Amino acid sequence: MDFDVHESERPWAETVLLSAGLGGAAGYWAPQLAALRQRYRVITYDQAGTGRARATELAAGYGIADMADEVIEILDATDTESCHFVGHALGGLVGIDLACRVPDRLHSLSVVNGWAVADAHTRRCFEVRLALLQHVGPEAYVRAQPIFLYPASWLSANEARMAQEDAHALSGFQGANNLMRRIEALLAFDATDRLGEIRLPMLLVASRDDVLVPYTRSEHIARSLRSVEVQVLPWGGHAVNVTDAQRFNGLLLDFLADHAGGGTIVPFGRAVQ
């Protein structure tokens, strides 16, 4: 397990665990760390088969439940009885699985541009990405990745940064086998029939301009829950916590403050226009 514990500026702070999407690396959450550490102890980690753990070869049948079990191991290893779990896309699926199976380990669950089951559009996107990987190669896959993550205007204004990210992603590429196993896992995930089991305070953040995961997938999750806070942002793309970090951080901190140690639940319907 490759994880980092970022101690809070406050003593006896509650813990927030951050789980990245398909890239799987702890570094994805860099735009959130400083803001969160002012109030919370923060755990970030590289998911098995990615980042510092990319030497791990994922086996056939590796699934979201296996990823959730890895989180439980991290909580145990860090003496963390329970945490506020924040997951982006695939990381959100991990959080949903944990909320259904071990709800006592979570104070709250926040899911960013996630889903309970992938829809046809998202499947089409992953089919295209897999075709690039298998028939053209990792460089083409990495080169195309920002198209699915960021708004076009943001990409245009950050070309130098994208060149650096491309080089970093290629040098730390998780490997075709691991990437395919992880994509298979997220496409196989279906928690539709389990959503009603979730009783935790839950925040859903979605972007209207996400080209990979329609914001309607968050609304689909919300309809199956008794109460949840939904924030639909007008801009930011799939990686909205990166492109609009200040706004995202504010929403997340407000939610976490409202649900310290559990707390009350905000009725479904509140949204940002």
For 193-204, what is each residue's pLDDT tens digit?
A: 999 999 999 999
Assess whether pLDDT exceeds 80 at residue 32: yes
Q: Report in angstroms the alpha-carbon separations of 170 from 88, 158, 159, 184, 267.
A: 21, 18, 16, 21, 43
pTM: 0.95
Burial (Cβ within 10 Å: 0-12, 13-18, ≥19) of residue 143 = middle
Read off the pLDDT of residues 74-131 as tens digits, 9 standing for 90 and up: 999 999 999 999 999 999 999 999 999 999 999 999 999 999 999 999 999 999 999 9
Q: What is the pLDDT of residue 262?
A: 52
Q: What is the pLDDT of residue 148?
A: 98
Maximum Cα–Cα distance across the chain: 52
Burial (Cβ within 10 Å: 0-12, 13-18, ≥19) of residue 156 = exposed
CATH code: domain 2-258 is 3.40.50.1820
Assess whether pLDDT exceeds 50 at residue 272: no
